[in-house]
Amino acid sequence: MTSLGSLMVVLWAGSSAAGPWRGYASVTTGAILDHTSGLRARGGALQAYVGGETPFGLSLGLVGEGVQTWGAKFSGQQAELDYLSLGLELRLRFLREGGVNPWVGLRVSQSRSTPLAFPADGEELRRMLHSGLSTALRLGVDAWFGEHLGLTASTAWQWCDVRVDDPTTGAAGACTNPLHSLLIGPTLRF
């Protein structure tokens, strides 16, 4: 963790020459992958981001995301881990002088999940509704085709976007294991 932090500081310091204030807007789409739970959910995602950037590469923006996934079958029904989230994302951009700008981000948002709940023995799957605070650690890169138009590709590990009731422990709205997203789409810089 210390090495990663040191690398981020060196990259940022080496490219932190003050530039103009900028705005960013992007719409990305891609896939959500569940690597860590037994559901093995997979599905599609759509994300929108609008933010402003300081002259030193630190930006803050509003981010919204919607996801629909399908996983393993239980009692003849296919499990789903679906959610909508709206929140804030802090991004730090590196190497801003060139045509390719990597960045790291931290998202904190309010998520509303509507998964099919895990059944107790003999019960049918049922749709649940939960909301709560969620977070994501994001890594991305912007490739620019000119001054204003580019392409954004990003990946993220997301915590607590989906909550479920666990009949074995009686926990209501417990966080599922982290979900992994892979997104790509157009971005504007103004």
Q: Which amino acid is at 63?
A: V
- Residue 117 inside a domain? The answer is no
- DSSP 8-class letter at 124: P
- DSSP 8-class letter at 128: -
Which pLDDT belongs to residue 123? 67
- Residue 53 inside a domain? The answer is yes
- Residue 38 inside a domain? The answer is no
- Residue 11 inside a domain? The answer is no
Average pLDDT over residues 16-34: 87
Q: Which amino acid is at 13?
A: A
- Residue 6 inside a domain? The answer is no
Mean pLDDT, the chain, integer: 86
Whether the per-residue pLDDT at 86 is higher than 90: the answer is yes
- Residue 100 inside a domain? The answer is yes
- Residue 103 inside a domain? The answer is yes
- Residue 28 inside a domain? The answer is no
Tally of domains in the chain: 1
Host H or E run for residue 3: helix 2-14
pLDDT digits (tens, 9 = 90+) for 168-181: 666 677 888 899 99
| Residues contacting residue 168 through CB under 8 Å, at least 6 positions apart | 120
Whether the per-residue pLDDT at 12 is higher than 60: the answer is no
Whether the per-residue pLDDT at 14 is higher than 60: the answer is no
CB of 5 closer than 8 Å to CB of 11:
no
Taking the alpha carbons of 148, 152, 158, 162 in that order, is the dihedral positive or negative? positive
What range defines the domain where residue 86 resides?
Answer: 45-110+122-155+171-178
CB of 182 closer than 8 Å to CB of 30:
yes
pLDDT digits (tens, 9 = 90+) for 139-179: 999 999 988 999 999 999 999 998 877 666 666 778 888 99
Token readout for 169 is 């422990």
